[in-house]
Amino acid sequence: MRKFLIILLFASACSPKSTNEDNVLVHIEDPEVMKYAVDGKTIYENHCGNCHQNDGTGVGNLIPPLRDADYFQASVHRTVWIMKHGLEGEITVNGQIYNQPMPANPKLTPLEIAQISTYLYNIWGMNEGKITSKEVENYLQQKPDF
Ligand code: HEC
């Protein structure tokens, strides 16, 4: 009986999360946005999802959320900068303090950053439209105030 319980617990811990999250793209209507968002979703899941989670909810008080997060929503410029250069030091997201370093992504191209940004800023109830690689290049030329 005890063994059964352990197997059951193990199985539920390993089972994949709700697949509803795969549907986030269906809310995007503009085909230009969709083109970027489809690639952006894959790149996000490969480069960011391990930490921020594919559903953007973060991990406890170690990794801040992106979904419904005031810090994230406040500035596309800052998010673009963080993706490329990483982030260190204390920040407050939705009233919770975080202070773990995020690694830089020097290999991400402006196009890839544009695709991730377009994805993230057009799901979870947001509708920022397409963020182009030209915009990303401009953002990367000037460090935001933070
Ligand atoms: C190794 C784990 C890790 C990876 C991978 C990672 N991050 Fe982060 N990220 C963090 C941590 C930790 C912080 C908080 C940094 C701090 O406390 O200063 C953070 C902060 C942020 C923030 C600002 C805080 C917020 O919630 O808005 C944004 C935006 C962000 N990350 C986006 C991304 C994106 C997009 C990617 C993929 C390109 C990514 N991160 C990859 C760990 C990670």
Q: With a cut of 70, say whether residue 71 has pLDDT above it.
A: yes
| Confidence (pLDDT) at 98 | 98
CB contact at 8 A, 102 and 86: yes
Alpha-carbon distance of 2 to 66, in angstroms, equals 39
pLDDT band at 58 (very low <50, low <70, confident <90, very high): very high
For the beta carbon of residue 112, count every other beta carbon within 10 angstroms: 19
- Residue 116 CA, closest ligand 1 atom number: 35
| Confidence (pLDDT) at 13 | 47
| Confidence (pLDDT) at 12 | 42
For the beta carbon of residue 37, count every other beta carbon within 10 angstroms: 25
Alpha-carbon distance of 7 to 85, in angstroms, equals 42
The end-to-end CA distance of the chain, in Å, is 55
Instruction: Give the tens place of pLDDT for each residue, 10-50.
Output: 444 444 454 555 589 999 999 999 999 999 999 999 999 99
Instruction: Give the tens place of pLDDT for each residue, 81-140.
Output: 999 999 999 999 999 999 999 999 999 999 999 999 999 999 999 999 999 999 999 999
Alpha-carbon distance of 51 to 55, in angstroms, equals 11
| 50 pocket-lining for ligand 1 (C-beta < 6 Å) | yes
Residue nearest to atom 17 of ligand 1 (CA): 99
Which of 42, 48, 139, when mutated, tests ligand 1's pocket best, judged by the most ligand atoms within 8 Å of its CB? 48
CB contact at 8 A, 122 and 44: no
